[in-house]
Structure 1
């Protein structure tokens, strides 16, 4: 595996030499282990008028251990990051790229990872306006069966190497560019839609059903979507997150993590509760639908 580190650009040249500032920037990170602060690669790309105007990528020493699970996703090992800078060393450059700008990320994972890394390395938080390209894609192409980045890239005909930070950042940026072209909604309009979005209220649980009494969290789908309504019709109370009283975590067929869903915070929280003695069940949507269908049939 060959991964190169790009030189850190100075703040005054973050637009790659262009005299015009980017309309938005895109960031993507890879992490070494389950701690989201363990950033081992970061990619940042700037777009103006639908065209890439700069790109920045580097490997990082995460100052943490590498889990085989994470290495299996992105291929980066401790040998790759030997002698590479830490997040503390490149914080100023990342801040110069993102601060005061519109920053796109595909899901909230990268936002949380940067915030956690700033805290871990005792650096000031990065102040930027975030835009989630997953939500943009769901509004632009609501009929797609999945809005994972690799699925979107294939659908849109984008060149993409999944779980490479720079390639992921480029792809997420092009998702926004294509969404603007497809819908006619400009960047400001997407930001306004993001501001207007409020947390959806969960449907009311049916008084009877095979899931009556269950408190169910969903991984990868809205609390007011099709899956949530189906769970509620079966008697379940759909909750916002995994907590100590949650009895089941249902993994949506459309969840954005692909086969790496076990890296999600909700899944890790459920696993932690199970280690502590909780009886919380982790089950896939398809399996649960089949199980309940059999119960109703009998």
Structure 2
């Protein structure tokens, strides 16, 4: 249960114009450290942004520029889970790195707004998932629009959601890729493109995938596969999440996987593929035609 939370403020509407960044570090549900810095964005300050966060040109005189700040953050977050509330802070750091020709941070990002939507699905559906509203509901006091304070609040939100749902940070990384209400997820079917390299195949997905099931179905359909909800005698491809296919005990395999193996034993032509191998095939075909 260790992770970092990050937040940035920008000088203007350009997300790459970062003028302040804050990083809060959490261990076992408590903040254990923090780091923050003003940043010289080498850009103009818009009066509207200044009104929000109070940082202007005078405040960043002598402050480091983004390449120096990014180098410090790289050391702090590489290989870690990094939380942020909504995707804007992640996008801002990536765009700032692009601006200076730097590599983006090597970490696993976790959007705490997506976490909130799953931890309390009915609470904010009509009022929005802004950090101030969520923090007020959870009793988290903070100074909004100060980067370090916002980072701390986002981290606290993740800690509260973990305690509420009984999920670890790693669990949340997987959970946010699934529907808000997984029990209401309807079977996903698609008709394959006749121009796709795998046209004529009937594909079925099973197990925990690295991308949302609907995206996987769209990918298969573009490659030419009809996508079905269940394994039958006309199934030709069973695409299994990498973690699931590595399980050796037959009882741990999904019902779809076991049915496919039974049909294969009856003479049906069904190929079982890992998700990563399937994606490699589709990408290679898309590149080379």
Q: Which has the larger radius of gyration?
A: 2
Determine if the alignment matches structure 1 residue 146 to structure 2 residue 125: no
Match of residue 139, structure 2, among 140, 143, 157: 157
Count of equivalent residues: 179
Please tell me the root mean square deviation across aligned C-alpha atoms, in Å: 1.8
The alpha carbon displacement at 1:197 in A equals 5.1
Match of residue 127, structure 1, among 80, 87, 106: 106
Give 5+ residue unaligned stretches, structure 1.
1-21, 202-298
Q: Equivalent residue for 1:191?
A: 173
Match of residue 59, structure 1, among 38, 50, 55: 38
| CA–CA separation in structure 1 for the residues paired with 2:10 and 2:69 | 16
Q: Equivalent residue for 1:84?
A: 63
TM-score, length of structure 2 as denominator length: 0.59
Give per-residue Cα distances to partners, 1:67-103, cap 9 Å, x unaligned: 1111111111111111111111122111112211101
The alpha carbon displacement at 1:125 in A equals 1.8
Structure 1 runs of 4+ aligned residues shifted over 6 Å read none
Determine if the alignment matches structure 1 residue 111 to structure 2 residue 90: yes
The alpha carbon displacement at 1:180 in A equals 0.7
| CA–CA separation in structure 2 for the residues paired with 1:27 and 1:181 | 20
TM-score, length of structure 1 as denominator length: 0.58
Q: Equivalent residue for 1:71?
A: 50
Q: Is the contact made by 2:5 and 2:82 (CA closer than 8 Å) also made in structure 1?
A: yes
The alpha carbon displacement at 1:131 in A equals 0.5
Give per-residue Cα distances to partners, 1:242-273, cap 9 Å, x unaligned: xxxxxxxxxxxxxxxxxxxxxxxxxxxxxxxx
| CA–CA separation in structure 1 for the residues paired with 2:60 and 2:93 | 18
Sort the Cα spacing of 1:196 and 1:126 in 2 relative to 1 into closer, same or farther, 3 A.
Answer: same
Give 5+ residue unaligned stretches, structure 2.
187-289
